[in-house]
Amino acid sequence: MSDYFDDKDTSTPRHEPARQPDPAPRAEPHLGDARSQPRQEEAPAGSGLAHERRDERRYIRVSPTFEVRFDDGNRFRGLDLSQGGFAIESPRPMRQDARVRGSIAITTASGELLVPVSAQCRHSLALEGRGGAHHAGFEITDISPSHLELLRRVVRAHLAGRPLDVEQMVQGEDAQTPRKRRGTGSTPQAAARPPRPMGRYVALFIGFAVLAVVAAATAYRNFMLIEPNFAAVTAPRIDIRAPSPGILMAHELKAGDRVTRDERLTRVKDVDLESDLILAEAAQRYNSQLIENLQENLDGANGGQVSLANSAEPGNGDAVSFETVSPDIARARIDQFETARDFQASRVTALQARQSQNEIYSPCDCLVAWALSSSDGTYINESEKIMTLMRTGDDEVMVEALVHMDDIDRIEPDQLAYLSLPNASGPISARVRSVALDIERQPRAGFPSWVRQQQNVASVLLVPEKPLPVESVGTPVDVRFTEQALLGATAEWIWQSGRRVVQQASQLFSGIGDNDTADTAG
């Protein structure tokens, strides 16, 4: 036998009146819930529960169709239900303070809801006219938060007059919300909106102000400052050309290498020049030998006849013949041979000088901008370009700009200008060094030849106040000449700052897009 029944119950029978359907909820607590007695303020007729306090909702009882199942297998018909407890109809009296465990089985339109609870009996009263049946009230002592929320939704659904439906209870709408709209007798007043923070308005105003300043600076920069047709970073150029036709000997120089003054660069092998030098040296030795032999014959003749060669030019295709002459004629021929020897010596010196020019050395401490490949015995003609060197000393890396003749009268030496290198953090100040109409007077590396073919332009050299890196030679730059130093500097700095922000934002979004692409591919 279960220990929660009490066969010695002497409680007074309870007369239960007939239940009448009442759409309005009852605020009567379970008997025995003395810890928090409900209170309901008097409200005008027809106002429903418009003035009901939120803390009293826990003890509002409703009468859904439900059954209480104890763990020992006994089942009892449920009489009423609230968030704090429930009442059942028992065939026997219940022992007061008896603790039970079980489940509340609530019948809905689409199924049955089970709410596991632990409860304690608070009262057990006999029901008159029910054949010994008792009304037993229990207080819920242990329930999980999720089941408590389910129980609250069941109570609110009955308070709102809606039939129980599992699917509607799973949805996020609180069932009592429509009831509150219908129950209020007067027009609901909108809740007071919290004051909006002033920070957002200040930030918005600052944003508009910054945009306006950037727009004004951009307009001033584009329409008031002088913009050249083209500008690039340049340096003095030295072209190394072939002194004579021949084969370019091997070298290991390439663009970007540095060379020092008098450093050997390469050599041009001129086969014809080397052949002429060999023949000239042979002719010189031949004449020297003729003179020596004739002098010996003349010394040994003792006034007699002397034999000598009739030609001072060896290798002319004719066989050398000898003849016999007098000593006076022999001495005269010695003078001729000495003249021919001196001529060949001068010719050898000239050919050696020409050959020494084929050994090419660096004229300065320079940077190799371009070098002709020497692979596979490259043949070059005279004056053909072999290398291009750049001078990279102090104040030699400058900016050259081509300015139209319509604007050249507004530019003068030492005028202020601003340079903008790609991906630079800010503008670079520069001063005008010279204005020249002859743009080929001083060839400079880093400036394309096709740009120099423009008509009606003048060349303006700018010396930057901050040294430019040598690697930037040949890089196009954005140049603005200003006549008002203060306004020009302000506009340039504002424009550069805005451009820098846009570049950083683009890099950030590009990085985010690359990461998303990599994640998708992975």
- Written as one string, the DSSP assignment of 242-253 is -SSSEEEPP---
Between CA 76 and CA 82 the distance in angstroms is 17
Residues ≥6 apart with Cβ < 8 Å to 416: 429, 430, 431, 481, 482, 485, 488
CB environment 144-159: b (16+ within 10 A), e (fewer): eeebeebbbbbbbbbb
pLDDT value at residue 15: 43
pLDDT tens profile 347-385: 999 999 999 999 999 999 999 988 998 776 789 999 999
Q: How confident is the model at residue 192 (pLDDT cuts 50, 70, 90)?
A: low
> Is the Cα dihedral 53, 55, 58, 59 positive or negative?
negative
pLDDT value at residue 157: 82
Between CA 368 and CA 411 the distance in angstroms is 33
Between CA 457 and CA 459 the distance in angstroms is 7
Which 3-state string (H, E, C) describes 409-421? HHCCCCCEEEEEC
Between CA 464 and CA 471 the distance in angstroms is 15
Please check the confidence at residue 143 and state whether its pLDDT lies above 50: yes
pLDDT value at residue 398: 92
Phi and psi, residue 407, nearest 5°:
-110, -5
Please check the confidence at residue 243 and state whether its pLDDT lies above 60: yes
The token pair that represents 151 in the structure block: 């129980």
* Mean pLDDT score, 217-235: 78
Percent of the chain residues past pLDDT 90, beyond the cut = 18
Q: Where are the beta strands (DSSP E) in 215-356?
A: 230-241, 246-248, 258-259, 264-269, 306-309, 322-325
The three-class DSSP label of residue 139 is strand
The token pair that represents 108 in the structure block: 């809905």
Nearest to 151 by CA among 117, 109, 101: 117
**Residues, the chain:** 522
Question: Which helix or strand (DSSP H or E) is residue 103 part of?
Answer: strand 99-107
Question: Which helix or strand (DSSP H or E) is residue 429 part of?
Answer: strand 428-436
Please check the confidence at residue 462 and state whether its pLDDT lies above 90: yes
Between CA 457 and CA 408 the distance in angstroms is 8
Contact assessment for residue 98 and residue 111, using Cβ atoms and an 8 Å cutoff = no
> Is the Cα dihedral 87, 89, 95, 98 positive or negative?
negative
Residue 314: how many other CB atoms lie within 10 Å: 16
pLDDT value at residue 196: 67
pLDDT tens profile 475-512: 999 888 887 666 666 666 666 666 666 666 676 777 66
Average pLDDT, the chain: 77
Between CA 413 and CA 213 the distance in angstroms is 31
More confident of the two residues 10 and 171: 171
* Mean pLDDT score, 10-17: 46
Please check the confidence at residue 345 and state whether its pLDDT lies above 80: yes
More confident of the two residues 225 and 371: 371
Please check the confidence at residue 515 and state whether its pLDDT lies above 70: no
Burial (CB count within 10 angstroms: exposed 0-12, middle 13-18, buried 19+), residue 14: middle
> Is the Cα dihedral 474, 475, 478, 482 positive or negative?
negative
Residues ≥6 apart with Cβ < 8 Å to 349: none
Which 3-state string (H, E, C) describes 443-467? CEECCCCCHHHCCCEEEEEEEECCC
More confident of the two residues 192 and 466: 466
Please check the confidence at residue 81 and state whether its pLDDT lies above 90: no
Please check the confidence at residue 37 and state whether its pLDDT lies above 50: no
Please check the confidence at residue 140 and state whether its pLDDT lies above 60: yes
Nearest to 244 by CA among 225, 224, 269: 269
